[in-house]
Chains A and B, each alone.
Chain A
Amino acid sequence: MKYYVTQLCDKGTVAVDDTILVKGAQSAAGSKMLEGFKPLFSAEAVTRLEDKGYSISGKTNVGEFGLDLVGEFSYYGENDAELKGAAASLVAGGEVKAALGVDMNGATRRAAALSGVDFLKPTYGTVSRYGVISCAASGEQVGVYAKDAENVAEIMSVIAGHDDKDGTSLPAESYEYSVNEDVSAKKVCIIKELYEKADDAQKAKVDSYAQALKANGVTVETVSSSLFEIANTAWQILMCAETCNNVSRYDGVKFGHRSSNYRNIDELYVNSRTEGFNFLTKAVILYGSDVLSKNRYKDCYDKSLRVRRVVAEGIAKLAESYDAILTPVCSKASYEAYDIHEAFGKVFDESVFTAVPNLIGTPALVSGGVQLMGKHFGESTLLSLAHSVERKGE
């Protein structure tokens, strides 16, 4: 598998996904559509890292617009049999201290789980999206891959904080991330419905993580909730609609790929986009276009917005009793290569584990191959829980 699309230096400390802009370096989000696009500015998160002396090692390969499972469908890399995600693999191999990725539909969290590294998808609005090649604006966030919770916290404290250039950025100037909260009185719940969707190996991972937490004084209970399934349906609808809209600017007129075969403007649009996007992106565009159409808007898109509120209320209620939710990240321990025509359905099925934090803007931390979901601004609780387990393992 090709890790870097563009390598910027030999001994960089942080790798950056190709969905995040680095000034002057091709930023194509894994798509032929953006081939040769070199941005005039860097993403805010990248600038903040560089200002603090972190060097950027390069642009890591991602699946086209981050829509696939773990980066298997990039225009710039082979479809490797061992699917683990480029940035996550670099962190796992100790090549870089950390990596930035855009968490939009779970690909980053799945990659972290499969590679055995940590990844934090932070609370929506805490990290600027300025310089993110945007797909699903209402739920995507820049997150951090690192080998453990301590390193995640270090990088997060650099990149988080208000940015005037992003209208969805929250007002706090900075955030503190701690791994040292006392976890002994914390309560964690396992969602029965999600647990049962995973294979035995994944269930075992959740079980042993629960044991480790318990050994640190954490209370772990199992609860039942139907919210996760409906949250996934709602998020797929919103995500496809927003992506369809956001990638509509790639039309062959201004930059990126333009078909050489056209006689008029309609053909320029159609042929450029037909040649430039892969099958999965096209499926997302068609699905998103459909749910926004006059006939479907009320029953699909508008309903999903209402579901978003219902899920947010339901999760907030759960959060009154529990400090975190423990779930699998993937249904199985590894993915095999598959045909892109099956991708839309596969991603939909797997996203049931990851959709809630995207839908309602809450944080989620992948560590030890499992996921801890928290409440808004509850990152330190998640990092401390993970840290308590990681420390024991050393």
Chain B
Amino acid sequence: MIMNYELVIGLETHVELSTESKIFCSCGGHSAANEPNDCVCPACSGMPGMLPVMNKRVVELAVTAGLMLNCEISRYTTFDKKNYYYPDLPCAYQITQLNHPICTNGCVTLKTSNGARDIRIKQIHMEEDAGKLVHSGNASFVDFNRTSVPLIEIVTQPDFRSAEEVVTYLNKLKNMFRSGGISECEEGAMRCDVNISVSPEGSEEFGVRTEIKNMSSFEAIEKAIRYESQRHIDALEYETEELVQETRRFDDASGKTFAMRNKETEADYRYFPDANLMPIIIDDEWLEQIKASKPEAVDEKAEQYREAGISDKEIDMLISNHKISKLLDDTVALGCNAKDAAAWILTDCMGILRKAKKTVNELEVTAENLAAIIKMVDGGKINRNAGKKVLIAVIEDGADPVEYCKANGLDKQVDSSAVDGIVDKVISENAQAVEDYKNGKVKALQALFGACMRELKGAGDPTVIKELLENKLK
């Protein structure tokens, strides 16, 4: 009979950090590159004579990640060299952390279909990424743009019991890191090695462990876990094959895992301390500074937004991007209503960006300017349409909201008699449209309304104008 089996999974997740420069030199990250080897200097291409110089921001982001995952922060942290030859690794060693990683002993709680689950974090360490090989026909080319881009590697204990938990965890990391400004977590910026074993339920001992290397899509990770766990169960249940401890790769096309060459799994990386980088001491003062600038945990933040009446869909958009959630928080801090401000940001600002074919990170508006616009609209100084016009001018041309209103006559107080006069004028000048409307063409009202708005240069209250028009045409 078929027994029940328990799946045991541990994860190693590499996350590319959002820093302006690489980890040991001042080159921009590869996201700034257009052409292969655009972001390369003598240091990150391994030329003799160059020395690594630590990018402080990497330490701060790694500590922030550690704080978010409830880790102990090491006050003394060092770098080691990992030796192996590969053409995309210019020095033939990778600078990483083995002996004194920056964060240890963390924990993260997941909400799963089986209730809350705690996943222990063994450690987080900092390291540099490798470059990339591009193969073309018989030739291979090396692109060092990604070389020395900063990564953190988050290593969990073997605490996952299902593929679902793994995906929940990865989504949680992704949201946390995006909202914390730690990583954009774009495609390929988050890569996982998955350690899997299967044992009969209730067994004290873990089964034979295999490791599936280097997967970047959550879908592939889930598929790989499902395939690999079934392979283990089949081996145990039907003795289809003998399981050995090995490194495997997942083939997306076939949905299967394959053993990698033994040579690669048995490498001795000859780790040893990097004498070019002095130990980093994180003192109380520095740690407090990092803590002070750390964004709130995603859960707390989401709760806070929910209480303000923001919808779940909007909350997801907000917490997945540190820039816009910060813009919202800052705007609210200036006295605006949260729900209202969220609509301005997620509907109006995003709409303007979409039209301009720009990304969220290219949004150029300060909380001060946004708050000024919202207050003008709320205070009845301008109508909402005019407010949107101002916002476009602010985002696209860097205009000052108040100045812009003045210069374009948007803030002109329109008394109701003036509006009344304009409406009468429009009705008398557009006999055909009036006729059409009276004959049941509802669309014609829109044309008349537009004509009124043009006359008023957008200054009147649209609701009032519509009402007036309708009343006068009855």
Measured CB to CB, the residues of A under 8 A from B are 21, 27, 29, 34, 37, 39-41, 43, 129-134, 137-138, 164-168, 241-242, 245, 248-249, 251, 253-255, 265, 269, 289, 292-294, 297, 301, 305
The number of chain B residues touching the other chain, given as a range, is 20 to 34
Other-chain contact of B48, A34, A165, A265, A269 (Cβ < 8 Å): A34
Q: Which residues from A are CB-within-8-Å of B90? A: 249, 253-254
Question: Is B35 among interface residues, defined by CB-CB distance under 8 A?
Answer: no
Q: Which residue of A lies closest to B53 (CB)?
A: A167
Contact for A248 among B53, B92, B142, B277, CB less than 8 A: B92
B52 at interface, CB cutoff 8 A: yes
Please, how many angstroms separate the alpha-carbon atoms of A129 and B51 in the complex?
A: 8
Answer whether residue B42 sits at the interface, using C-beta atoms and an 8 A cutoff: yes
Q: A248-B85, A289-B270 are in contact. Are A165 and B53 (CB under 8 A)?
A: yes
Inside 8 A of B81's CB, which chain A residues have their CB?
A: 245
Q: Which residues of B contact A249 (CB under 8 A)?
A: 46, 48, 90-92
Contacting pair A297 B92 (CB below 8 A): no
Q: Is the CB of A293 within 8 A of B268?
A: yes
Q: Which residues of B are found within 8 Å of A37, using beta-carbon distances? A: 48
Which of A130, A133, A242, A293 interacts with B275 by CB under 8 Å?
Answer: A242
> Which residues of chain B are within 8 angstroms of A39 by Cβ–Cβ distance?
42, 47-49
Q: Are B83 and A245 in contact (CB under 8 A)?
A: yes
Q: Which of A41, A137, A251 contacts B42 (CB 8 A)?
A: A41
Q: Interface readout for B42-80 with A: 1 if CB under 8 Å, 0 if not?
A: 100111111111100000000000000000000000000
Q: A253 and B49: CB pair below 8 A?
A: no
Distance from B143 Cβ to chain A, minimum over Cβ atoms (Å): 13
> Which residues of the partner chain B approach A301 to less than 8 Å between Cβ atoms?
272
Give B252-294 as 1s and 0s: 1 = Cβ < 8 Å from A's Cβ atoms: 0000000000000000101111011110000000000000000
Complex Cα spacing A251 to B86, Å: 9
Instruction: Give the docked Cα–Cα distance between A137 and B47 (Å).
Output: 15
Tell me, in angstroms, the Cα distance from A138 to B142 when the chains sit together: 30
Cα(A265)–Cα(B135), bound, Å: 13
Bound Cα distance from A248 to B85, whole angstroms: 8
Cβ–Cβ contact B51 & A167, under 8 A: yes
| Cβ-based interface call for B93 (8 A) | yes
A167-B276, A251-B85 are known contacts. Are A130 and B49 too (CB-CB below 8 A)? Answer: yes
Structural contact, A248 and B51, CB atoms closer than 8 A = no
Question: In the complex the two chains form, is B270's CB within 8 Å of A21's CB?
Answer: no
Given A245-B81, A245-B83, A248-B83, decide whether A133 and B52 contact each other with a Cβ distance below 8 A: no
> Contact partner of B51 among A27, A130, A242, A245, CB < 8 A?
A130
The listed residue (B47, B142, B270, B278) touching A255 by CB distance below 8 A is B47
Closest to B272 in A: A292
In angstroms, Cα B125 to Cα A379, docked, is 39
Question: Which chain A residues lie closer than 8 Å to B93 at the CB level?
Answer: 245, 248
Chain A residues with CB under 8 A of B87: 251, 253, 265
Q: Known interface pairs A39-B47, A134-B49. Does A297 touch B276 (Cβ–Cβ under 8 Å)?
A: no
Which B-chain residue is minimally distant from A37 (CB atoms)? B48
Residues 126-157 of chain B: 1 if any A CB is under 8 Å from the residue's CB, otherwise 0?
A: 00000000000000101000000000000000
- CB neighbours of B46 from chain A (8 A): 249, 254
B91 touches A248 (CB 8 A): yes
Residue pair B45, A167 in contact (C-beta under 8 Å)? no
Q: How far is the CA of A253 from the CA of B45 in the complex (A)?
A: 11
Q: Find B268's partner among A133, A254, A294 (CB 8 Å cutoff).
A: A294
Bound-state Cα–Cα, A43 to B47, Å: 13
Name the residue in B52, B91, B272, B276 with the highest tally of chain A Cβ atoms < 10 Å from its Cβ: B272
Complex: chain A residue closest to B50, CB-CB? A130
Taking chain B's interface residues, is the majority helix, strand, or loop, or is none over half, making it mixed? loop
Known: A248-B92, A249-B46, A254-B46. 4 other contacts (CB 8 A): A37-B48, A134-B276, A248-B85, A292-B83
B54 close to A167 (CB less than 8 A): yes
Smallest beta-carbon distance B268→chain A, Å: 5
With most chain A CB atoms within 10 A of its CB, the pick from B48, B52, B92 is B48
Interfacial chain A residues near B48, Cβ < 8 Å? 21, 27, 29, 34, 37, 39, 133-134, 249
Q: Which residues of A contact B83 (CB under 8 A)?
A: 245, 248, 292
Name the residue of chain B whose CB is nearest to the CB of A256. B48
8 example contacts (A-B, Cβ-Cβ < 8 A) are as follows A40-B47, A41-B42, A245-B272, A255-B47, A265-B140, A292-B270, A292-B272, A305-B273
Q: List residues of chain A with CB within 8 A of the CB of B271.
A: 292
Q: B42 CB to closest chain A CB, in angstroms?
A: 6
Cβ B49 vs Cβ A167 within 8 A: no
A62 to chain B, nearest CB (A): 14
Cα(A37)–Cα(B45), bound, Å = 14
A163 CB to nearest chain B CB (Å) = 9
Q: B42 and A167: CB pair below 8 A?
A: no
State how many angstroms separate the Cβ of B297 from the closest Cβ of chain A. Answer: 34
The distance in angstroms between the C-alpha atoms of A110 and B196, with both chains bound, is 58
Chain B residue at smallest Cβ distance from A138: B275
Tell me which residues across on chain A come within 8 A of B51, comparing CB atoms.
Answer: 129-130, 134, 165-168
By beta carbon, the residue of chain A nearest B277 is A167
Q: Given that A43-B49, A241-B272, A294-B268 are known contacts, is A253 also in contact with B142, CB under 8 Å in the complex?
A: yes
Identify which of B53, B92, B270 contacts A251 (C-beta below 8 A): B92
A251 and B87 CA atoms in complex are apart in Å by: 9
Q: How far is the CB of A134 from chain B (nearest CB, A)?
A: 7
Give bound CA distance, A19 to B45, whole Å: 19
Report how far A5 CA is from B140 CA in the complex, Å.
Answer: 35
* Residue pair B85, A297 in contact (C-beta under 8 Å): no
Give the complex CA separation of A167 and B275 in angstroms: 9
Q: A245-B83, A249-B48 are in contact. Are A168 and B142 (CB under 8 A)?
A: no
Cα distance, A245 to B275, chains bound together (Å): 11
B residues within 8 A CB of A294?
Answer: 268, 270
Min C-beta distance of B63 to chain A, whole Å: 19
Contacts of A241 in B (CB 8 A): 272
**Considering the chains assembled together, what is the distance between the CA atoms of A133 and B93 in angstroms?**
16
Q: A31 CB to closest chain B CB, in angstroms?
A: 10
> In the complex, which of the residues B49, B51, B275, B276 has the most CB atoms of chain A within 10 Å of its own CB atom?
B49
Q: Which of A164, A242, A254 is B53 in contact with, Cβ under 8 Å?
A: A164
| Closest partner residue, chain A, to B48 (CB atom) | A133
Assess the A269–B272 pair: CB atoms within 8 A: no
How many whole Å from A72's CB to the nearest CB in chain B? Answer: 22
